[in-house]
Structure 1
C-alpha cells in the first residue's frame, strides 16, 4: 500500500499506532496516534479523572467532529494520519473495542517527581495544555538515555493530591542520587560523566593506601590490642573487601560502555551483546569475552582485571603474618667454676689421718671405668642439663664465659708395640694376687707370645700388652692355664700406688703440666681368636688434665646446648709433681705420696668484664681426685678360651686375692671408640666441677614469646597491579568513548533501544525449532544513531490472521 512521506518529526515506525481513550462518562471521540520510540512526549496532565498522553510529534491535527463516521484501520495505515477521531456513544465503547481488547497494554507516562509508565488502557481526552504548550525538541533532558524533556515551565502538570502524596513517599534518597548521576552522565565534561567510577577507583586506592599505612606503622611491632576485640587481620579484611568492591565497579561500568561501542562502525553478532553484558557482571562472562576478543580488544583488559580480582582476598590475607618472637623479660643464671675446692674428708687410720677420694668425681668416673658412662636424662623435648641452670622463661642465653674444666687427649702409639715370644715375668693373669712390689717380685715366669711395649732407652723390661700363654704357669693366687689370653691392658705411666714415673712419665704429653691420669690402653680388635692369630691390637696413649674452657650456652624449650669455643692448658715445663716418701712405723711400713704443688691456670681471656683469670685447685684436692683413678689403673682384661666370658682384674694396688669383675660392656675394648669415650668422661667430670656448691654464676638473659606483626610485601603485587591496570583501563575507556552517548550498564537503555517489533516477530518465527539465543549467534546488528540496524536477511514471518476490530498495540 502507498504511504505518505514522513515529515522531520514523523516517527520511524508510523504503522504502529497508540490507542488513546477517555475514562469519563461523556461521549468523547476515541483517537489513534503514532509515536516514535525514541522521542519523549510532553508532560501528562490528569484532570477530572482524565489522562493526557504525551504527543508523538510536534504537529497535530484537529479532531474530527463527533458525528463523523469512524475511519477504518486500513484507511488509517494508508493515510498515515497522526490523529484519527472515532465517535463513541456515551458509556458505550465502539464495537471493535468492546469485542477485542488490545494485545498489548497502552504505555502511559506520568510526568511528575517520578517517571512512571502505567500499563492500563484508560479512555483519555486531549488536554488543552497540550495544545498550548508545543514540544521543545532542543530542550536539554534531565531524564537521561537521550530522552528529550518536552515539559514546559509555562504549563506545569496538574496532578491530583493522591498521586502527589504517592510521589512524595516514593521520592527517596536513592532515586535522587540516581537522577543526579543521570544528569552527570549527560554532561559534556568527560570527568563528570565518569564521576562515580573515578570516585570508586579513588576509594579503592584509599583503602589500599590505608592498609599499607597500617602495615608500615605496625611492621616489626607487637600485635596491637584494639578495643572491642578488633584485630589487625579483621581490619585488613574489611578494607580489602571495600577495596575490591570499589575496584570492580569502574571496570564493570567501563565494560558496559564498551558493549555499546562494540556495535558501532561495523556489524557484530547479536550474541556479542550478551557476552559483553555478562562480562560486566562476573568472571564467567569475562572468560568468554577473552575468548571472543582473542585478548586483542580494550575490553579484554577489563575481563582480565575481573578474573584476577577473584584472588584479591587471598592475596590480602597473605600480606600480614603474626610470628612469635622472643623479647627480653628478665635474667637467667648458669654455674661455672673458677677454683675447685670441695670439702676434704679425712679418715683416721692407725693414728694417722688419711684423705679419701673425691666421692663426687669418683661416682661419675666409675661409671665410665666399667661401663658406657653417664647417660643424659630426657626432659621435655631435650635432655636435662647436668649443671645448675636457672631459666625462668624457657628461653635463655648467656654470653661466652670461662670455667675450670677437665680436658682429654689421645694419641696412637701402635708403633711402639712389637710382636715376639718371650720367657719373662707373667704379671697379667687373672689369678695373681695384688700388693706391693715385694709381692709382685714373687710373680712366676712363663713363655708367652704377643705384642710387647718396649720404649728404646727405658730401664724397664718389655711389658706384654696383648698376647697369650704358651704354657701353664702357677702362682700364689692359683694356676694360669695354657692359652690364657690378655685382651686389654690399661697401664698408667706412673706406678700405683707409689706414683713413680714409667717411660719418663709420658710419651706424647710431656707438655701437659697437671695431668689427672696419663695411661696407655692396648686392646685387640677380634677377641680371643684374634689374639691367637696374632692380630695387631690398637694402642693409644690418653691423658686427662685440668684446663680452662670457654663456653657458649643456650637453653631453649627444655633443651640445653653447650658449645666449647676455646681451650686453654697450662703447658709450663716443670718437675714431676708426684713425691713419694717411705713411712716406717712399728705397726706397718707404708709410702707417703702427695702432690707437690697447687694448680694455677692463668687463662688469657677476660669474660663478663671481670679479671678473674686464675683458675685451679689446691694440691690435696688433686690428690683426692687422682686417688679415685687408682681403682682402674692399672687393670687387665683376660679370658681362657672362647666359651668363657672375659673378666676384668682391677684394684691391683691392694694386697691379697685378685678383684675380678665381668663387664656387660667394656668401653676400653678395641672395637669401641676409646677417644670419644674419654671425651665424654672429661665432659662429665667438668660438669661435676662446675656443679660444686657456692660456685660463681654467669648472668644471662631470659626471653619470653610475644606475637609481632610481619609484612610480606610481595603479596601486594597483585592488588597494586590490578589497581594500576584498572586506572589504565578506565582512562582508555573514557578516551575511547568521549564522543559517544554514555549508557554504561544501563538496563533502561537496553529496553529503550531494543529491536523493532517486526524484527522480534521474525526472530521468534525463525526460532520455533531453536532458542532465540541460538539465533542471536547468527544475527548481525550494529548501533546506528539511536536504534539498531539489522544486517542479516530474514525470511518473512508467517502470515497471521488479522483481527478487524483489534486496536493496534502500544509502542514505546
Structure 2
C-alpha cells in the first residue's frame, strides 16, 4: 500500500491518519509528546455482519476475486480481535485488507511476531497466480482424424458431386503399365497429351508448382501411403573436365554470295577457310570489314564446341544478323554416345551442351573472360516411390526412392538378328528406322529394395509399351528439328540418332524455334529439363487417374480439449488454505465474543484511539513525523464497555 502525505484542516483541529510505515518497527517506546487531558468517550454497539458475498464474475476470475474479498474482510477484522502490538501493525492490517502488496507488508510483522494470521497474507499473495494456473488447466489443440467412407460421402455430396466418378474416395494418379500410343499402319500414333506435356515442359513460362499430378480429395486434406508409379526422370552431370580451349586470329574470306533472299554465304578463295567460330555467317563479319580473334571451347569426344569473336557480344537483339552463339548442344538417343550415362539403359534422350555465362549476355564481361558451362543431361524412363500429403488443398509430394534398372529380358525379340542389332546399339531404346515388334520394356525394382519394402511397394515390375517409347522419341525428334529422317532409309544409324544444334543460329539455315529455343532462353537448363520430366510424369499419372488410381484417406481437423491436472494443485491448495483461514477467523471471532470490524469505517471510528493517543498522532502529523511515531509507538487494546479503545501502552503496563 502506497504511503500518502498527512493533511490537516485550516484550524488544525482534525488530523487524517494515513498508512504509516514500510519498514520493520523498532522496539517499544513511550511517546515523546506530553499527554493532554483525556475527554470522556462512549462506544456504541456494532451489529454483526454477514460473512457471505454474492458476486457474479467471469468464470476464470470468480474464484480469485471472491477469495480476495473474503480474505480482505477477514484480515481487516483481526485488529479488533487480537491487537496489542506496535501501532504500525494496525496500519499493516489495514493495508493487507486491500490486496497483495499490503499482505506483503503484513508479513513483515508476522516474521517478527509469528501468528496464524500469516496464512491469510500468504494466501492473498498466492492468489495473484490463481488465474494463470486455472487458465492453463485446459489445453486446446488441433488433431487430424481419418474420415470413414460414410463421413467422406457426406462431404462429397455437400461439396462436389463430380467426385463420385472416382468412387467417392480420395485418389491420386499413378501408372503401373504405360500404354500411351498405338500403331497407325507402320507408324506409332502420337498422343496429343504427350505432345502437349513435352512442349509445356520446355516452355520458359511453366512454373514447377503447375506440374503436380491430378488428385481428388473433397476435404482438401488427404494422405496416401507410399506408392510407386512409372515416371520420367531427369539427371544432369558436369562435364567441364572434358573441355579444351583454343584461340587465334581470324582472316575473313574475300568473297560473299547470296544464297537466298535472306541468306548469304562465303566464297572461299585459294587457301581461304571459314572463320573458326560457331556461327561463321558472313553478313555481320563482311559489314565490319576487319579481322577478329576468337576463343573456342570444345569437347572433342562429343565433337561439339562453342566459339565467338573476342570482345563484347555483337547481337543487341535477335532481329539482327550477327555471329554470336549462346548455346551449342548435341542431342542423342543412344547411351553409348554419352560420357556419363553409358549404363543408363532406359534413356530416352541425352542432351550435351556448352553454354555461355549470363555475364557475357549482359555485357559485363568480354568473351575471353566469360565462363562457359558444360553439362550432360539425360531424360529416362523410371519408377518412383512417392510420398504424398494434401494439406488445405496444397499437394506436397516427395520422391522417396527411384529405380531405372531395365529387366535384361525385356524390350527384345526372339530373332537373333534383332538381338544382335540391340547389342550393337548399346541396348538403346531407339531402334532408328528399324521397325520390328518388341516386347514391353520392363523396369524392375531391385530385389533388396523390394524385399525390404514389399508391403509398401506391392509391385516389382512395371511395363512400358514399344509404341509409347517410339512416340516419345518421335515428339523429341520433331521438337529438335528432326533427329531421325524416316524418308532416308539408307541413312547410317549413328547419324540418325544424334544432332548438333546452335542457339541462336542466325543465317545458319537452322530453325531457332522448338525445344532448343526453350533451352536457349532458359537461365537454368537443368531446371528446364526437370520441368520436362515433371510434365511428362504428370501426363503419365493423370491419364491413369480413373483407371488405376492410388486410394488414400481423407482427414479432417477437430479441436481436442484436454484437462491438465498438474496445473490444478496450486489453485486447489490456495483455495483450501484460504477457506481454512476464513474458518479460523470466524472461529476466533465467535470465541472472543466480539463484533468483527471489517467493512465499515464507521465501526473503526467507534473504536477510535483514546484522547491521549489521538492528540499524540495529530501533533505528529502536524510536524510531519507521523511515520516515525508509528514506528516507535506501541498501543494496546483496552476494553471499554462492549467495544474498547486503542491506548498507548506504558512501560509499566503488562502485555495482554
Q: What TM-score comes out, normalization by structure 2 length?
A: 0.61
Question: Who is 2:13 aligned against?
Answer: none
Question: Who is 1:783 aligned against?
Answer: 637
SS of match in other structure, 1:520: strand
Change (3 A) 1:664 1:286: farther
Change (3 A) 1:571 1:724: farther
Give, in angstroms, the shift of residue 707 of structure 1: 2.3
Question: Who is 2:30 aligned against?
Answer: none
Question: Who is 2:474 aligned against?
Answer: 627
Aligned: 1:491 with 2:330? yes
CA contact (8 A) 2:225 2:552 kept: yes
Change (3 A) 1:717 1:677: farther
Give the one of 131, 147, 168 matched to 1:313: 131
CA contact (8 A) 2:238 2:375 kept: yes
Change (3 A) 1:283 1:648: farther
Give the one of 434, 442, 465 matched to 1:618: 465
CA contact (8 A) 1:283 1:303 kept: yes
**CA separation in 2, counterparts of 1:370 and 1:393?**
33
**CA separation in 2, counterparts of 1:432 and 1:292?**
114
Alignment of structure 1 residues 394-793 onto 2, 5 Å? 394-420=220-246, 446-448=274-276, 450-455=296-301, 463-468=303-308, 484-494=323-333, 501=334, 504-525=336-357, 526-527=359-360, 532-533=367-368, 535=370, 537-571=372-406, 575=423, 576-578=427-429, 591-592=433-434, 596-603=438-445, 604-605=449-450, 611-630=458-477, 631-632=479-480, 634=499, 636-638=501-503, 658-661=510-513, 667-668=519-520, 672-693=523-544, 694-712=546-564, 715-716=567-568, 718-723=570-575, 726=578, 741=592, 743=594, 745-746=596-597, 754=607, 759=612, 777=630, 780-783=634-637, 788=645, 790-791=647-648
Alignment of structure 1 residues 270-309 onto 2, 5 Å? 272-280=89-97, 282-283=99-100, 285-286=102-103, 288-290=105-107, 297-298=114-115, 299-309=117-127
Change (3 A) 1:463 1:252: same
CA contact (8 A) 1:548 1:568 kept: yes
**CA separation in 1, counterparts of 2:306 and 2:299?**
9
Deviation string, structure 1 residues 747-806 (Cα, Å, up to 9, x no partner): 69977993687658867996996999999947642135775573368xxxxxxxxxxxxx
Deviation string, structure 1 residues 131-164 (Cα, Å, up to 9, x no partner): xxxxxxxxxxxxxx9xxxxxxxxxxxxxxxxxxx
Give the one of 386, 395, 409 matched to 2:212: 386
SS of match in other structure, 1:722: helix
Deviation string, structure 1 residues 448-479 (Cα, Å, up to 9, x no partner): 15233323xxxxxx724211489xxxxxxxxx
SS of match in other structure, 2:473: helix
Change (3 A) 1:743 1:552: farther
SS of match in other structure, 1:448: coil
Alignment of structure 1 residues 179-190 onto 2, 5 Å? none
Aligned: 1:322 with 2:157? no
**CA separation in 2, counterparts of 1:768 and 1:519?**
101
Structure 1: segments with no counterpart, 5+ residues: 1-102, 108-116, 118-144, 146-174, 182-195, 201-233, 347-351, 378-384, 424-430, 434-443, 456-461, 471-479, 495-500, 582-590, 640-645, 650-656, 794-812
CA contact (8 A) 2:43 2:606 kept: no
**CA separation in 2, counterparts of 1:413 and 1:663?**
22
SS of match in other structure, 1:659: coil
Change (3 A) 1:768 1:717: closer
Give, in angstroms, the shift of residue 390 of structure 1: 1.4
Deviation string, structure 1 residues 522-550 (Cα, Å, up to 9, x no partner): 21225478785285522111111111111
CA contact (8 A) 2:181 2:471 kept: no
Change (3 A) 1:488 1:659: same
Change (3 A) 1:602 1:665: closer
Q: What TM-score comes out, normalization by structure 1 length?
A: 0.50
CA contact (8 A) 1:371 1:664 kept: no
Change (3 A) 1:447 1:610: closer
CA contact (8 A) 2:234 2:529 kept: yes
Give the one of 183, 191, 215 matched to 1:358: 191
**CA separation in 2, counterparts of 1:535 and 1:243?**
76
Question: Who is 1:219 aligned against?
Answer: none
Question: Who is 2:280 aligned against?
Answer: none
**CA separation in 2, counterparts of 1:432 and 1:315?**
92
Aligned: 1:334 with 2:180? no
Give, in angstroms, the shift of residue 714 of structure 1: 6.1
**CA separation in 2, counterparts of 1:723 and 1:595?**
89
Give, in angstroms, the shift of residue 725 of structure 1: 5.2
**CA separation in 2, counterparts of 1:485 and 1:746?**
103
**CA separation in 1, counterparts of 2:73 and 2:43?**
35
Give, in angstroms, the shift of residue 319 of structure 1: 2.5
Question: Who is 2:23 aligned against?
Answer: none
Change (3 A) 1:353 1:558: same
**CA separation in 2, counterparts of 1:768 and 1:628?**
105
Change (3 A) 1:370 1:599: same
Change (3 A) 1:295 1:371: farther
Question: Who is 2:182 aligned against?
Answer: 344
Give, in angstroms, the shift of residue 489 of structure 1: 1.9
Larger RCO of the pair (alpha carbons < 8 Å, separation 6+): 2
Change (3 A) 1:556 1:751: closer
CA contact (8 A) 1:421 1:447 kept: no
Deviation string, structure 1 residues 347-379 (Cα, Å, up to 9, x no partner): xxxxx64334333222222234352544535xx
Structure 2: segments with no counterpart, 5+ residues: 1-39, 153-168, 251-257, 261-271, 278-295, 311-319, 409-421, 484-498, 651-656
Q: Which has the larger radius of gyration?
A: 1
Change (3 A) 1:580 1:623: closer
CA contact (8 A) 1:551 1:563 kept: yes
SS of match in other structure, 1:629: helix
Greater alpha carbon shift after TM alignment, 622-631 vs 273-282 = 273-282
Give the one of 77, 86, 90 matched to 1:268: 86
**CA separation in 1, counterparts of 2:274 and 2:43?**
139
Change (3 A) 1:788 1:621: same
SS of match in other structure, 1:683: helix
Question: Who is 1:245 aligned against?
Answer: 66
CA contact (8 A) 2:389 2:396 kept: yes
**CA separation in 2, counterparts of 1:557 and 1:290?**
57
CA contact (8 A) 2:328 2:502 kept: yes
